[in-house]
């Protein structure tokens, strides 16, 4: 199986290259805009000795011969690239947002452009295996979820199944979520020591979380999501609050049942809570819950590595399903510790 990685010089592209070292797929093209013709180790020194190829341009990579393409480009760039790849029979896993939403009008509202390929939105499958495993298996185009949306959905899916319809998602996220190009808000001197909300109203991942949780529930589920920048590099932690009259034993049964048999979701034992520190470097999502009987609040938790279960690892999980491989292929890496 041959694969191309578009946007291979970025953070999620680099993680795709790293994880694919231990995967049967052969990477035959890796693109960059800035580093065309430069060796991969120049941008990713940790990959020295693993790849002898050089970065190519997007146009050059389009002419290549491969079965699958991962797209790890900024949002807005894949919407015109995907149709070209699919025309030549290439199956695509897009890590960006261009094909995540089903309703084309939502692109105008949330992303500020009119979607040029509404027919492809219908064919695209939202790449969260825990919700859409069977659809991913038959997909030609998978829209891999955003990291905040992944954490929010995994934290709260069992709550939604128990009847929760209004969710408040509070996220803490490391700086790698913002990609490799520093801005005033994301550059290290501004991030180090920071704890602050960003996009506190109308964060874009709200739309996809709402779409998928409503589909799961079979009714409208409202999600309000506020991410906070914290000074770690990796990790996304979601605390998703709702109000439900259920006790801890019911919550335990609901989480254990919902995630039974899931290869990459670990449910925290009762009385313990997940921690980002225990999933870094891996494709695991650790989930858990708490209930405050006094106020009636229930909270679902999820800890992920934003670059792996929130991006590159989850994309490879989808590729495995599309290709008929064992879903865990190349992904059974234990997290780092300490």
Task: Closer to ligand NAP by CB, 12 or 299: give it.
Answer: 12
232 touches ligand NAP by CB under 6 A: no
Residues 65-84 that bind ligand NAP (CB under 6 A): 72-75, 77
274 touches ligand NAP by CB under 6 A: no
Beta-strand runs (E) in 174-331: 196-197, 222-229, 236-243, 265-267, 285-292, 297-304
Which of 4, 58, 153, 308 binds ligand NAP (CB under 6 A)? It is 58
C-alpha–C-alpha distance, residues 91 and 271, integer Å = 43
Q: How far is CA 119 from CA 124, 125, 146, in A?
A: 9, 12, 22
Task: Closer to ligand NAP by CB, 37 or 163: give it.
Answer: 37
127 touches ligand NAP by CB under 6 A: no
Q: How far is CA 44 from CA 14, 50, 281, 301, in A?
A: 7, 10, 16, 32
Which of 39, 64, 83, 179 binds ligand NAP (CB under 6 A)? It is 179
The distance of closest approach from Cβ of residue 180 to ligand NAP in the complex, given in angstroms and rounded to an integer, is 3
C-alpha–C-alpha distance, residues 91 and 321, integer Å = 12
Stretch that binds ligand NAP, among 26-34, 118-126, 151-159, 256-264 (CB under 6 A): 26-34
Which of 3, 106, 121, 307 binds ligand NAP (CB under 6 A)? It is 307
Question: Of 92, 93, 106, 147, which one is the catalytic site residue?
Answer: 147
C-alpha–C-alpha distance, residues 222 and 33, integer Å = 38
Task: Closer to ligand NAP by CB, 147 or 240: give it.
Answer: 147
Task: Closer to ligand NAP by CB, 95 or 167: give it.
Answer: 95
CB-closest chain residue to ligand NAP: 10
Task: Closer to ligand NAP by CB, 107 or 252: give it.
Answer: 107
Task: Name the 3-class secondary structure at 286.
Answer: strand
156 touches ligand NAP by CB under 6 A: no
- Catalytic site residue 54? no
String of b and e for 218-250 (b: at least 16 CB within 10 Å)?
eeebebbbbbebbebebbbbbbbbbeeebeeee
13 touches ligand NAP by CB under 6 A: yes
C-alpha–C-alpha distance, residues 16 and 19, integer Å = 5
- The site that binds ligand NAP (CB under 6 A) totals a number of residues, namely 30
User: What is the distance, to the nearest Å, from the Cα of residue 4 to the centroid of all Cα atoms in its chain?
Assistant: 19
Stretch that binds ligand NAP, among 32-40, 100-108, 203-211, 217-225 (CB under 6 A): 32-40
310 touches ligand NAP by CB under 6 A: yes
Q: How far is CA 140 from CA 50, 83, 165, in A?
A: 29, 11, 32
9 touches ligand NAP by CB under 6 A: yes
C-alpha–C-alpha distance, residues 201 and 185, integer Å = 17
- Contact at 8 Å (CB) between 161 and 229? no
The distance of closest approach from Cβ of residue 44 to ligand NAP in the complex, given in angstroms and rounded to an integer, is 11
As annotated, the active-site residues are 147
Q: List residues binding ligand NAP (CB under 6 A).
A: 7-13, 32-35, 58, 72-75, 77, 95-96, 146-147, 176-177, 179-181, 306-307, 310-311
């Amino acid at each position: 199986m041959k694969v191309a990685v578009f946007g291979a010089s970025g953070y999620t592209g680099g993680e795709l290259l790293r994880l694919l070292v231990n995967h049967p797929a052969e990477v035959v093209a890796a693109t960059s805009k800035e580093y065309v013709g430069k060796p991969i180790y120049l941008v990713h020194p940790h990959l020295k000795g693993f790849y002898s190829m050089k970065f190519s341009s997007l146009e050059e990579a389009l002419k290549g011969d491969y079965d699958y393409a991962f797209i790890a480009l900024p949002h807005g760039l894949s919407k015109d690239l995907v149709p070209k790849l699919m025309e030549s029979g290439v199956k695509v896993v897009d890590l960006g947002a261009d094909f995540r939403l089903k309703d084309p009008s939502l692109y105008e509202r949330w992303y500020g452009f009119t979607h040029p390929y509404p027919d492809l939105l219908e064919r695209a499958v939202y790449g969260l295996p825990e919700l859409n495993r069977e659809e991913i298996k038959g997909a030609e185009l998978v829209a891999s979820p955003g990291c905040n949306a992944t954490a929010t959905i995994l934290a709260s899916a069992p709550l939604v199944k128990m009847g929760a319809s209004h969710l408040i998602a509070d996220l803490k996220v490391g700086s790698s979520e913002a990609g490799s190009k520093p801005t005033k808000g994301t550059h290290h001197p501004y991030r180090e020591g920071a704890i602050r909300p960003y996009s506190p109203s109308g964060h874009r991942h709200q739309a996809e979380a709402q779409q998928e949780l409503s589909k799961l529930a079979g009714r409208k589920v409202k999600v309000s999501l506020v991410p906070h920048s914290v000074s770690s590099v990796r990790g996304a932690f979601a605390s998703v609050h709702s109000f439900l009259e259920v006790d801890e034993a019911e919550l335990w049964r609901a989480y254990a049942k919902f995630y039974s048999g899931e290869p990459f979701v670990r449910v925290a034992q009762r009385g313990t809570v997940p921690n980002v520190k225990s999933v870094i470097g891996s494709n695991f999502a650790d989930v858990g819950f708490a209930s405050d009987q006094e106020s009636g609040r229930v909270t679902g938790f999820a800890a992920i590595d934003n670059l792996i279960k929130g991006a590159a690892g989850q994309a490879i999980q989808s590729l495995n399903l599309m290709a008929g491989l064992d879903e865990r292929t190349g992904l059974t890496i234990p997290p780092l510790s300490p």
